[in-house]
Amino acid sequence: MRNTRMDGKQVGGLMSRNEWLITGGSVVLSVVVGLLTAMHANAVLTFVVSGVALALLAALVGMGTEQIGSHLGPGATGVLQSSLGNLPELFVGYFALRSGLIAVIQAALVGSILGNSLLVLGLAFFVGGLRHGTQRFASEVPRMIATLALLSVSALILPTLVFFLHTPASKHEDAFSIGSAVILLIVYIASIPVSLQGGPTALPEEPEEPTRQWPLWLAVVILVVAGVGAAFVSDWFVAALIPAIDILHLSQAFTGLVLVALAGNAVEHAVGIQLAAKNKMDYAISVILNSSLQVALGLIPVLVLLSFFVGPTHLTLVLPPLLVVALVLTGLLSTVITYDGESTWLEGVALIGLYAIIAVSFWWG
């Protein structure tokens, strides 16, 4: 599951230097975004600053959930991070739904999966491979994640096929999407006991001595502050999104697939790559691939169901065909590469290459 613990020396008090930097940066940039929005500043500037603030707030949410979970055990940590780790992305999705930006949401959700399974995993393999040669990891975790990820991808493929093949079910697009979303959530709930018992979907224990544990009250305060900040910044981020991409002449599909998808995960992406560079591949694989699984198995169905209560347009699981093809290619390549429990820098280049090709294919819309 998600892990945002960054290495850093303890500088006194209860938090490390990096934790202080992330916390302080989150607060300062959130205030700056609020001021830029209130002053109706340049949309591109507001969009960029709010994107950076959102990335730091996502890291702060991850730190808070991890610290609360550390009082409960590794299994509970994984469950807690699965439930709360996607708060910034959930808020972005909520405000985008209110604005009727369905194309942006669909591209951003798929882009989040692609960003983790291709770009981040590829960078982790590339950096780790250059430093350590062929790296090995337990294949049980990627196999289990691949199984659940393929189920999630199937829930996106079938409604799309049903719609474009004009089968009898194509007239029931909303009902089919709701049913598929409910099934995915049931599977997610069924995976919780496995995580609690330390199964393949659980977060493995940190291989090194962990950083200092926060008091429970501090972890709760940080999580609440980060959650509230993420809600406000997400609103400002979405408000600046359309004017910014109009000025920059970007398509909504490319913006969602690349910019929005990466905004809420940038710091967490760095953690997975950092772990691979230290040859902690079991931990790196779990962190990176579980981030994709959380989106596919949890965030997507929640937003589908939420869309029927929020916004002018329903978010269904009928996607543009190119997004579906991108998901299929991602699932196939990432599964083939991780299934043998070994990775090389060249496999990392292959994953990054596929991500770049997919991103370019959406540049024009």
Residue 144 neighbours by CB under 8 Å, 6+ apart: 199, 200, 201
Please give the average per-residue pLDDT across 303-313, as a whole number. 90
Q: Is 190 helix (H, G, I), strand (E, B) or coil?
A: helix
The CB density around residue 140, as the number of other CB atoms within 10 Å, is 12
Structure confidence at residue 209 as a pLDDT band (50, 70, 90): very low
Please give the average per-residue pLDDT across 7-30, as a whole number. 75
Q: Which domains does the chain have, with CATH numbers?
A: 17-361 (1.20.1420.30)
Give pLDDT tens digits for 97-147. 998 899 999 999 999 899 988 999 999 999 999 999 999 887 777 777 777
Structure confidence at residue 84 as a pLDDT band (50, 70, 90): low
Instruction: Indicate if the pLDDT at residue 1 is higher than 50.
Output: no
The answer to whether 330 and 117 have CB atoms below 8 angstroms apart is yes
The CA distance from 74 to 72, in Å, is 7
Give pLDDT tens digits for 142-155. 777 777 778 888 88
* Prediction pTM value: 0.85
